Amino acid sequence: MADISIDTDLARKILTGFIRTELNRAGFSKAVLGLSGGIDSALACYLAAEALGKEGILAVRMPYKTSAQDSLDDAQQVIDALGIQSLTVPITEMVDPLFERFLGMENRRKGNIMARERMIILFDQSEAFHGLVVGTSNKTEILLGYSTWYGDSACAINPIGDLYKAQVRELAQAMGVPKSIIEKAPSADLWAGQTDEGELGFTYDQADQILYLLIDQRYTPQEVVDASFREEFVKAILQRVRRNQFKRILPPIAKLSNRTIGYDFLYLRDWGT
């Protein structure tokens, strides 16, 4: 097994500094984030509160009628522990009319709609609170494409996007995130009984190991197989990473000029920090 543990003190310093720097660069000093009761949003919230102070954070809970009560309770634990401002905006009456318009809608479509409705609320509160939206997707989810495009993947900055799920747990523990949140089964809480690993068909720990070798260590797929991983599983992970590349980039722009946004032009020379 590859060792993917991190120096939590160093990671904490880098990530809180990242939040302050990126917000200041954009002219902001406050942040808005969706607090689901899961470990990813909890860790992002702890990092943001440490970086900006409790007055600079607005945490928004956005339950649907089937959302688990323990998710709301765990989110409230974070709010109470950090002393941050919060808002609860139920989304049931917002999304149900669309579900009723297209009867027989499968759970995945419903889940995508709920995720995008939540992002509508967060970006509205971004304007009202004058704070940027902080993302809560980890590196494992981003690589696997396990997110809703322009839903839970949408944000202004993401402090935890370079942390694998195991590293999220490690840093969350070091920062004092409640134990009940760290130990609960990962779930987007999109429908009753839904869990991330049940939907993916494998555990985050298994995916972390393969992704770390493929991405960070630059192993070839065959080298990963030679490291005692099943060939079918390695291929399945690799296929997901390739298939979901479009979620990790801005929409490609057809190139006509000598300086095309996203290709030759990324930022001004005197961008500054």
* DSSP string covering 119-131: HHHHHHHHHHHT-
Residue matched to tokens 């987007």: 188
Q: What is the pLDDT of residue 272?
A: 58
Q: What is the CATH number of the domain that holds 74?
A: 3.40.50.620
Q: Give just the sign of the alpha carbon dihedral 245, 60, 101, 194.
A: positive
Tell me if residue 5 falls in helix, strand or coil: coil
Residue at 69 is within a domain: yes
Read off the pLDDT of residues 83-134 as tens digits, 9 standing for 90 and up: 999 999 999 999 999 999 999 999 999 999 999 999 999 999 999 999 999 9
Residue at 269 is within a domain: no
Alpha-carbon gap, residue 92 to 94, rounded angstroms: 5
Residue 152 token pair: 């839970």
Read off the pLDDT of residues 210-233 as tens digits, 9 standing for 90 and up: 999 999 999 999 999 999 999 999
Strands (E), 108-235: 132-133
Residue at 1 is within a domain: no
Q: What is the pLDDT of residue 265?
A: 85
Residue at 265 is within a domain: no
Residue at 255 is within a domain: no
- 192 burial (CB, 10 Å; 0-12 / 13-18 / 19+) is exposed
Residue at 143 is within a domain: yes
Amino acid 194 reads Q
Average pLDDT over the chain, rounded to an integer: 93
Alpha-carbon gap, residue 85 to 59, rounded angstroms: 6
Amino acid 85 reads Q
Q: What is the pLDDT of residue 267?
A: 77
- Look at the chain and report how many structural domains it folds into: 1
Q: Domain span at residue 230?
A: 8-247
